[in-house]
Structure 1
Amino acid sequence: MTDVIIAGAGPAGTIAALVLAQAGVRVTLFDRASFPRHKLCGDTVNPGARAVLRRLGLDHVTAGGLSVKGMVVSGERGVRVIGAYEGECSGVAISRRVLDERLLTAAAAAGVEVQQGVLAQAPLRSDDGRAVTGLEIVGPSGRVDRQTARVTIAADGRSSRIARATDLSATPRWPRRWAFGAIFSGVNGLSAFGEMHVRDRRYLGIAPLPGGYANGCVVTGDRAALRDPDLLMTTIRDDAEIAGRFARARRVSDVAVLGPLAVDVRAAGMPGLLLAGDAAGFIDPMTGDGLRFAFRGGELAALEALRVLDGGWRDAHLRLDVARRSEFAAKWRFNRALRALAASPAAVRAAGVSAALLPPLLRRVIQYAGDVHLT
């Protein structure tokens, strides 16, 4: 029997698998996609996330990426603050298509059995229904199979079939926002800084990518705006600060849509099952720290799985919940506060006035958003 099976070969799943395999655990990793594949994301590994990779000996997976020295944040009425990361800290911009494939290659090299094109469609339950004993999977041919293991980790994203089937996660009634993103060539004015442009009821992120490309993504909960089939380009064209920079730009990917974004969870697992990555909860991505949550969350799930294999379950899912709260609770509060601010036009205007009068305050926010304190 495989010791641990993992649904989802994104960053959280591959980090969990790699940590376990390096400890001598037999691990099988399933993903419905075939890699490389495109993934809607900000495409930036912030300084804190980069520190996790470095500690795990995985800094090489970002090779060839662009150094990100900080963030440019703009608001309406000309407010603009440049926040450079302190000291030698930097993030790195690299497409998820490249990053995820490299992480998966590293996991396979460590001894993980990787099965691509395989959907983890449901959890297997014990006879009394109180524990998860494995996964029901569907292979490329459509054949349904049952895979059992001592520990199952669900890292299959914010729409996790496993977390939802076990009533561990749900989409909250509020906030409900959607992200629309694409890759562009020919965008003018790119630099070594990521960009966040906060506007009334939406925000637009722009991240430079290797090869002269840029990631552009707009996030909004404005229901009227969501009826626009070309919302991303409308947002760019209607923004006086941004439009000219995209005058000769060309979209080189389809527009990917993700939403509603927020996912709440009531626990980080149940007997037999641990959650990791976006399957364990998701907050709007405006601070760019999603990959650190994924990397560190995958590692925490793996460490708890190792304890289970060594000494039995003994409320492992509750211990993981405590570990995640200890690690992430302060940042979750910070992100929710920014999310609430961005949802209020009055608050956005007030924040713009504060940023114009006290730019050092916004620079400190940028440091914390980039997890510089964790490097």
Structure 2
Amino acid sequence: MNTHVAPAADVIVVGAGPGGSAAAYYLAQRGLDVLLLEKTQFPREKVCGDGLTPRSVAALLKMGIDTSEGNGWTRNKGLRVVTRDITLELDWPTLDAYPAYGLSRTRLDFDDLLAQRAVEAGARLQTATQVTAPTFDLAGRVNGVQALLGPDKEPVTYRAPLVIAADGVSGRMALALGLNRRDDRPMGVAVRRYYYCDAKHDDDYLESWLELRSASDPDTLQPGYGWIFGLGDGRINAGLGVLNSSASYQQVNYRQLLLDWLAATPEEWGLRDESNADGPIRGAALPMGFNRVPHYSRGMMLIGDSGGMVNPFNGEGIAYAMESGDIAAEVAAKALAANSSPRREAALRTYPDQISDHLGGYYRMGGIFVKLIGHPEVMRLCTEQGMKSRTLMRFVLKLLANLTDARGGDAMDRIINGLQRVTPKV
């Protein structure tokens, strides 16, 4: 079957996850013709912790998403941090820039809500469209994408002067431009499973367990944490994330590690019982700390996981995907309004610097943090000594969740913001 060229758009966005839908929303709001291509059909499952910090909530509110409990969201007021000896409940900080609550909701319909918000703004959503590669003009600049459409995999070409890659950790679009993953940047792995759990499903706090040990190697403390996030519907999301900075990273069976950790939870929670599980254990990679750069090249912008934008401190990706989509849309709109190709290209080339200004110093700090806690003795010191000080843990919460006011704020805000300013950007 011959490939045919579909009608053009101003911008093609590849992937209707949080980053792609946010980019499409903000582009459409600016009056641009946006084609949002998604390989699956909604609703669809996606591996995630399903817990949202106030930073993610702020990104949702900016898009006009109704985050009320009556609209299917489960609210939480902070983070409960657990070790063998100490449990601390830390409320989300009160800030001007962010709400004082977090949320949880499964990705089964979360992404669909955001994609439909983009459609309401004027974007054209097309599902069951598997983008396979970018297309190039004679100068080697991206000018569209090739895709397989529908169940019959009909080959189609879509043209646009700009493509935004939001295709996730696989980075297929970026790889086509020779943008390979950097091995010197952090990487993580996460696994999760749903359980029915009456004791925890409507918890007021997200829960983080800092001591992860496998039954086969109980003396080694893994650089990461386990989580229990209540979903408000009788279920919880139980999972863990581990960083690649430990010597045993490649050897650990993370699915078994999850089961070993859950075996240490109270018996009355029912998390040791396979009959309470709702579905299999699923896993995914976490591309962190800008591990794929540059974020713009030859007519293509990278956002979210495709650009390695997961927070190295806590593994959060949704907030940063949506924020990068917002920034990309602003840059793209200015570029496409330029009256010449050189001016358009000059505007697009500002995108990497803007992303770096937004997160570069913080992510460099995160990279240092990842290397430090890769040493079991450092991880042990952090958990055993840090948990003894509520004040210190409040500071750690702000740092790890990237929750500060840019102007003013308290002493903790000023310290964290100052560290970001003086830390060289990635």
Common fold: TM-score over 0.5 = yes
Aligned to 2:72: 64
- AA at the equivalent of 1:68: N
Q: Partner of 1:314: helix, strand, or coil?
A: helix
Q: Deviation at 1:370?
A: 3.2
Q: Deviation at 1:214?
A: 0.8
Q: Deviation at 1:231?
A: 3.8
Answer yes or no: is the 8 Å Cα contact 2:287–2:305 preserved in 1: no
Answer yes or no: is the 8 Å Cα contact 1:39–1:96 preserved in 2: yes
- AA at the equivalent of 1:65: W
Answer yes or no: is the 8 Å Cα contact 2:39–2:127 preserved in 1: yes
Distance 2:312 2:235 in 1: 20
Aligned to 2:384: 353
Aligned to 2:163: 152
Distance 2:160 2:68 in 1: 29
Q: Deviation at 1:313?
A: 2.1
Aligned to 1:125: 136
Aligned to 1:139: 149
Aligned to 1:108: 119
Q: Please, which of 331, 337, 349 is the counterpart of residue 310 of structure 1?
A: 337
Q: Please, which of 296, 313, 336 is the counterpart of residue 323 of structure 2?
A: 296
Distance 2:147 2:82 in 1: 46
Answer yes or no: is the 8 Å Cα contact 1:79–1:355 preserved in 2: no
Q: Partner of 1:278: helix, strand, or coil?
A: helix
Describe how 1:181-330 pairs up with structure 2 within 5 A: 181-186=192-197, 188-189=199-200, 191-199=203-211, 200-201=221-222, 202-220=224-242, 221=244, 222-223=248-249, 226-227=252-253, 230-237=256-263, 239=264, 241=265, 245=269, 246-247=271-272, 250-259=276-285, 261-262=287-288, 264-283=291-310, 287=314, 289-311=316-338, 312-330=343-361
Q: Pick closer, same or farther for the CA change 1:253–1:285 going to 2, 3 Å.
A: farther
Deviates more, 1:40-49 or 1:62-71: 62-71
Distance 1:288 1:224 in 2: 18
Deviates more, 1:120-129 or 1:163-172: 163-172
Q: Partner of 2:161: helix, strand, or coil?
A: strand
Answer yes or no: is the 8 Å Cα contact 2:335–2:348 preserved in 1: no
The C-alpha deviation readout for 1:16-64, integer Å capped at 9, x for no partner, is 1011112211110111111111111121221122122223323458832
Q: Partner of 2:239: helix, strand, or coil?
A: strand
Q: Partner of 1:324: helix, strand, or coil?
A: helix
Answer yes or no: is the 8 Å Cα contact 2:191–2:255 preserved in 1: no
Describe how 1:24-39 pairs up with structure 2 within 5 A: 24-39=31-46
Q: Deviation at 1:277?
A: 1.1
Q: Partner of 2:349: helix, strand, or coil?
A: helix
1:78 aligns with 2:85: yes
The C-alpha deviation readout for 1:166-194, integer Å capped at 9, x for no partner, is 12241526755421111111263452111
Aligned to 1:11: 18
* Higher share of residues assigned helix: 1
- AA at the equivalent of 1:373: T
Q: Pick closer, same or farther for the CA change 1:123–1:374 going to 2, 3 Å.
A: farther
* TM-score of the pair, normalised by structure 1: 0.90
Q: Partner of 1:259: helix, strand, or coil?
A: strand
Distance 1:228 1:18 in 2: 36
**Structure 1 unmatched runs, 5+:** none
Distance 2:286 2:302 in 1: 20
Report how many residues are paired: 371
Deviates more, 1:334-343 or 1:144-153: 334-343
1:373 aligns with 2:404: yes
**Structure 2 unmatched runs, 5+:** 1-7, 212-220, 407-426
Distance 1:347 1:43 in 2: 29
Answer yes or no: is the 8 Å Cα contact 1:283–1:336 preserved in 2: no
Q: Pick closer, same or farther for the CA change 1:121–1:111 going to 2, 3 Å.
A: same
1:363 aligns with 2:394: yes
Q: Deviation at 1:283?
A: 3.9
Deviates more, 1:120-129 or 1:187-196: 187-196
Answer yes or no: is the 8 Å Cα contact 1:6–1:155 preserved in 2: yes
Distance 1:208 1:162 in 2: 35
Q: Partner of 2:132: helix, strand, or coil?
A: strand
Answer yes or no: is the 8 Å Cα contact 2:174–2:180 preserved in 1: yes
- AA at the equivalent of 2:39: R
Q: Deviation at 1:358?
A: 2.0
Deviates more, 1:84-93 or 1:292-301: 84-93
Larger of the two Rg values belongs to structure = 2
Using CA pairs under 8 Å that are at least 6 residues apart, name the structure with larger relative contact order, 1 or 2. 1
Distance 1:228 1:157 in 2: 21
Distance 1:299 1:10 in 2: 13
Distance 1:169 1:317 in 2: 20
Deviates more, 1:207-216 or 1:56-65: 56-65
State, as a whole percentage, how many aligned pairs show the same letter.
Answer: 24
Q: Partner of 1:214: helix, strand, or coil?
A: strand
Deviates more, 1:81-90 or 1:113-122: 81-90
Answer yes or no: is the 8 Å Cα contact 2:255–2:281 preserved in 1: no
Q: Pick closer, same or farther for the CA change 1:288–1:219 going to 2, 3 Å.
A: closer
CA-based RMSD: 2.5
Q: Deviation at 1:297?
A: 0.6
Answer yes or no: is the 8 Å Cα contact 2:47–2:192 preserved in 1: yes
Distance 2:200 2:92 in 1: 20
Q: Pick closer, same or farther for the CA change 1:188–1:335 going to 2, 3 Å.
A: farther
